[in-house]
Amino acid sequence: MSKFIKKASKTIGLAPGSLVHVGEKILDKPRVTIIDYDQEKFKEKEVKNVEECFPFKESPTITWINIDGLHDTDIISRIGNYFDIHHLFLEDIVNTSQRPKFEESDKYIFVVLKMLYFDDKEDEIKAEQVSIILGLNCVISFQEKEGDVFNPIRERIRNNKGRIRKSSANYLAYVLLDAVVDNYFTILEKMGEKIESMEDELVAHPTPKNLQIIQNLKRDMIFLRKSVWPLREIISGLQRTESNLIQDSTTIYMRDLYDHTIQVMDTIESLRDIVSGMLDIYMSSISNKMNEVMKVLTIIATIFIPITFVAGIYGMNFDSSISKLNMPELKWPFGYIFAWGIMIVIAIGMVTYFRKKRWL
């Protein structure tokens, strides 16, 4: 459940804008890295003291500051103060239960996203909050922990591959968003495989345990949907914004990104439909098994109950010496064979009936 509602209790009763970290503390110490580049120059360093970032603010080169680890609210607050970021934005950055959102002010565009990854140990989807602040010549990104999703981007900047080094800060922001959205496809592939293998199992050997797994899949789909749905508005907002922080040339990329987001959502909806159909397969597999059990019982019972009755008849102790009407069969020379004959006729009749009814 904690996936859906994080303990927000500690923030309740506080003044709006108070910086309180909501979420797990994953890293010991936040890690701050700076990449500063333009088409010719490139500089990358990890800083111990957050103040080392500040000189880059004024430089005409593009600066990407990445902070991994959000529990040290003091660092966040110092960056916020220096870069003049609204305290409500800072509150959103450290509250990892924040809904994905998009805000723009004169100086900044602020985006909160969910990075999804599949936790193989607990066999469920988890989300990490990623916040991106786009300024005139700088991008500041905040992650809960060190991630490898942005590594290919760093590599492309270092090696001056693609358009990043030739473009301005808003293209970098787009590339970061694109990396997050692309990553959703990996999750969807994973989910697709789980669903497929689950289905084969359901058809072959449905067990009560499957039900639990179906419920977990359903919940994962709800969670996925909840994490991705707001993205639509965000990207659409970025696309239509009149802020001069987004150049016209970036708009076509944003439209492409919007398209991918829609595709992610379409796929989630399709998977949801398929997952909710799985319960029907399960329930009717159970019904089928029950039917089979009932049929076996019925066949056995309806064959043996009548012939046991016949055996019961000739087990009666009526005194045949008193009257010829009292169980004369017992005295017949072929009496025993006669009884077996009746019983065999009954059994064959029953089996024929079941054959006709297609139960056998």
Query: 23 to 82, contacts with a second copy by CB under 8 A?
Result: none
Q: Is 84 among the residues that bind a second copy (CB under 8 A)?
A: no
Report the SS3 class of residue 75. Answer: helix
Q: Is 266 among the residues that bind a second copy (CB under 8 A)?
A: yes
Q: Is 280 among the residues that bind a second copy (CB under 8 A)?
A: yes
**In the bound complex, what is the minimum distance in angstroms from residue 28's beta carbon to a second copy?**
28
Are the C-beta atoms of 155 and 162 separated by less than 8 Å? no
Q: How many CB atoms lie within 10 A of CB 348?
A: 11
Cα separation values, 217 from 152, 277, 294, Å: 30, 12, 32
- Which stretch in 43-51, 115-123, 135-143, 327-335 sits in contact with a second copy by CB under 8 A? 327-335
**In the bound complex, what is the minimum distance in angstroms from residue 46's beta carbon to a second copy?**
22
Q: Is 270 among the residues that bind a second copy (CB under 8 A)?
A: yes
Q: Is 250 among the residues that bind a second copy (CB under 8 A)?
A: no
CB-nearer residue toward a second copy: 46 or 189: 189
CB-nearer residue toward a second copy: 23 or 54: 23
Q: Is 183 among the residues that bind a second copy (CB under 8 A)?
A: yes
* Residues of span 98-137 touching a second copy by CB under 8 A: 98-99, 101, 103
**In the bound complex, what is the minimum distance in angstroms from residue 55's beta carbon to a second copy?**
29
CB-nearer residue toward a second copy: 236 or 326: 326
Q: Is 315 among the residues that bind a second copy (CB under 8 A)?
A: yes
Q: Is 249 among the residues that bind a second copy (CB under 8 A)?
A: no
Are the C-beta atoms of 102 and 238 separated by less than 8 Å? yes
Closest C-alpha among 138, 148, 145 to residue 173: 138
**In the bound complex, what is the minimum distance in angstroms from residue 183's beta carbon to a second copy?**
7
Among 40, 122, 322, 356, binds a second copy (CB under 8 A): 322
d(CA 97, CA 4): 9
Q: Is 211 among the residues that bind a second copy (CB under 8 A)?
A: yes
- Which stretch in 62-70, 119-127, 136-144, 185-193 sits in contact with a second copy by CB under 8 A? 185-193
Cα separation of the two ends of the chain: 48
Q: Is 344 among the residues that bind a second copy (CB under 8 A)?
A: no
- Strands (DSSP E) found in the chain: 31-37, 42-47, 62-68, 101-104, 109-119, 124-134, 138-143
- Can you list the alpha helix ranges (DSSP code H) found in 132-247? 151-158, 169-204, 208-240
Phi, psi of 254 (to 5 degrees): -60, -40
CB-nearer residue toward a second copy: 56 or 174: 174
CB-nearer residue toward a second copy: 123 or 266: 266
CB-nearer residue toward a second copy: 215 or 352: 215
Closest C-alpha among 272, 161, 293 to residue 217: 272
- Nearest-5° Cα angle at 52, 46 to 54: 125
Q: How many CB atoms lie within 10 A of CB 64?
A: 25
**In the bound complex, what is the minimum distance in angstroms from residue 200's beta carbon to a second copy?**
11
**In the bound complex, what is the minimum distance in angstroms from residue 286's beta carbon to a second copy?**
5
CB-nearer residue toward a second copy: 57 or 218: 218
Phi, psi of 333 (to 5 degrees): -65, -35
d(CA 16, CA 185): 36
Among 45, 323, 348, 349, binds a second copy (CB under 8 A): 323
Among 27, 75, 136, 222, binds a second copy (CB under 8 A): 222
Closest C-alpha among 62, 113, 108 to residue 87: 108
Q: Is 306 among the residues that bind a second copy (CB under 8 A)?
A: yes
Burial class of residue 93 in the structure, from the number of CB atoms within 10 Å of its CB (0-12 exposed, 13-18 middle, 19+ buried): buried
